[in-house]
Amino acid sequence: MDIKKDLEELKNRALEQLKDVDDDQGLEKWRVFYLGKKSPLNQVLRGLASLPIEERRLVGAMSNDLKLLFESNVEQKRLSLYSSAVTTLQEKGRLDVTLPGRPVAQGRLHPTTRIVRQICDIFSAMGFQVVEGPEVETDYYNFEALNIPKDHPARDMWDTFWIDRKDENGERTTLLRTHTSPMQIRVMEKTTPPIRVVVPGKVYRYEATDATHESMFYQVEGLAVDKGVTFGDLKGCLYEFARRLFGPERKARFRCDYFPFVEPGVEMAIDCFVCAGKGCRLCSNTGWIEILGAGMVHPDVLRHVNYDPDVYTGFAFGMGVERIPILRYGIEDIRLFYGNDLRFLRQF
């Protein structure tokens, strides 16, 4: 059997058949027949082991050259078919190559991510460092060190996702953090004052979801500790934050509120940016919109981290991130932020 002659005949037959191919389907059939696993060319390559070594080298080289030739001709034929199809469409008036291409949609940051970054940038400009902490926390950091001991009624303020992990006494000790405040303790344990940090991150609450509640949402926590920090520093810092985020004409109001880890505690509200304080649907006709809770760090919290409350004082604040775009854009359902509905997300 003359393998070299068979290869030459195979080449001529294949190239002759390729000339008659006139569509993509026919080209694919030709490619599978002459370049597939069961092609005559592959059968020749499998039989090389039975040939004398000198003939094996010659036939092997010829086979590889023929394979490259087939592959090259397939690509040329594919380009030729494409060019012919374009020309046909142009002649029939179905394709205008001078028209601009279809626009490609560009991805953008999620509205929550944008607000988180904007908040962090504002506080960074005021000298705060951005830090992050674990989402799986211990009871100690999430509650006890923040002046919320076991059986304290204030624990009812945070519906908790507990993790099925218990100590030697059979008590659950691990949970999904209910607020970003545990990082207050973690930062103070490892840092000597002065401290100025903001902590963005996800928090979790075991509660039914509705238009104003979600089981997972974002918070930004802030903490400042040093000698001589006063409530006036807290008010000045938060007032400047509100002006930078909501506009320089904003007014701020502070009213007493209760949080176990601060004393005194306050809620901060700004005058409604829709009605300018006159009263509307967004502000429930009060003229004010609550945006965050804050207060002076409780002395017991400072003692937990071995800070002397007679020497150091500090303030802390926390806000729900989704609340800000809800207020700014008049969004009526917090669940829209996590529904992955492109109709909603494209608006931002």
Asked if residue 254 and residue 180 are part of one domain, the reply reads: yes
- Higher-scoring residue by pLDDT: 42, 67: 67
Angstrom distances, CA of residue 157 to CA of 124, 148, 160, 259: 30, 11, 9, 10
Q: Indicate the pLDDT class of residue 302, thresholds 50, 70 and 90.
A: very high
Lowest mean pLDDT among 129-133, 152-156, 223-227: 152-156
CA gap 126, 207 in Å, rounded: 35
Q: Are residues 275 and 161 in the same domain?
A: yes
The CB-side HSE value for 120 (13 A sphere, CA atoms) comes to 17
Give the model's confidence band at 106: pLDDT under 50 very low, under 70 low, under 90 confident, else very high: confident
The single residue of 219, 225, 242, 304 carrying the catalytic annotation is 219
Asked whether the CA dihedral 205, 208, 212, 214 is positive or negative, the reply is positive
Q: How confident is the model at residue 94 (pLDDT cuts 50, 70, 90)?
A: low
217 and 336 share one domain: yes
Does 90 qualify as catalytic in the annotation? no
The pLDDT value given to residue 95: 60
Judge if 268 and 138 occupy the same domain: yes
pLDDT of residue 203: 92
- The active-site residue out of 179, 196, 298, 323 is 179
89 has pLDDT over 70 = no
**Do 43 and 119 belong to one domain?**
no
Q: Which helix (H) or strand (E) holds 184?
A: helix 182-190
CA distance 255 to 80: 77
263 in Cβ contact with 294 (< 8 Å): no
- Whether 122 shows a pLDDT value over 60: the answer reads yes
What pTM, to 2 d.p., does this model score?
Answer: 0.66
Is 103 inside any structural domain? no
Do residues 116 and 60 both lie within one domain? Answer: no
My answer on whether 305 and 156 are in the same domain is yes
In-domain check, residue 102: no
CATH number at residue 171: 3.30.930.10
Q: Are residues 79 and 122 in the same domain?
A: no
Highest averaged pLDDT of the listed ranges 165-174, 201-210, 326-335: 201-210
Higher pLDDT residue, 230 or 71? 230
Q: Of 262, 266, 269, 294, which is the active-site residue?
A: 262
Name the one residue in this structure whose structure tokens are 């609550």. Answer: 290
Nearest Cα residue to 243 out of 255, 231, 251, 253: 251
Instruction: Identify whether 97 is a catalytic site residue.
Output: no
Report whether pLDDT(223) > 60. yes
d(CA 287, CA 180): 29
Question: Which two three-digit tokens encode residue 83?
Answer: 């060019």
Angstrom distance (rounded) from CA 330 to CA 320? 16
Dig out the tokens for 173 from the structure. Answer: 């000790």
Taking a C-beta distance cutoff of 8 angstroms, is the pair 261, 148 a contact?
yes
Q: Quick check: helix, strand or coil at residue 218?
A: strand
Query: Considering 205, 298, 304, 323, which one is annotated as catalytic?
Result: 205
Q: What is the mean pLDDT of the chain?
A: 84
Domain shared by 34 and 182, yes or no: no
CA distances from 56 to 52, 59, 128, 308 (A): 6, 5, 75, 89
Q: What's the pLDDT at 121?
A: 94
Integer Cα distance of 235 and 317 in angstroms: 11
Report in angstroms the alpha-carbon separations of 236 from 54, 116, 241, 272, 303: 91, 21, 9, 19, 26
Is the confidence at residue 269, as pLDDT, over 70?
A: yes
pLDDT band at 92 (very low <50, low <70, confident <90, very high): low
Residue of 14, 187, 301, 316 marked active site = 316
179 flagged as catalytic? yes
- What is the per-residue pLDDT for 49? 66
Identify whether 46 is a catalytic site residue: no
Q: What is the span of the domain harbouring residue 283?
A: 111-345
The average pLDDT across 129-144 equals 91
Sort residue 66 into left (φ over 0), alpha (ψ -120 to 50) or beta.
alpha
Quick check: is 125 catalytic?
no
Told to judge if 304 belongs to the known catalytic residues of this protein, a careful annotator would answer no
pLDDT(79) > 60: yes
Catalytic residue, candidates 21, 158, 224, 225: 158
- Integer Cα distance of 226 and 313 in angstroms: 6
Examine the domain organization and report whether 248 and 218 are in the same domain: yes
Token pair of 139, please?
A: 């009871």
pLDDT at 219 (0 to 100): 92
Amino acid letter for position 39: S
Same domain for 165 and 87, yes or no, is: no
Q: How far apart are alpha carbons 238 and 75 in whole angstroms?
A: 66
The whole-number pLDDT of residue 162 equals: 86
Q: Shortest CA distance to 223 belongs to which of 300, 301, 320, 324?
A: 301
Q: Tell me if 98 is assigned to some domain.
A: no
Question: 137 - beta bridge partners?
Answer: 175
Q: Give 225-265 pLDDT, tens digit per residue.
A: 999 999 999 999 999 998 898 888 878 889 999 888 899 99
Q: pLDDT confidence of 271, banded at 50, 70, 90?
A: confident
pLDDT band at 282 (very low <50, low <70, confident <90, very high): low
Tally of domains in the chain: 2
Asked if the structure places residue 123 within a domain, the reply is: yes
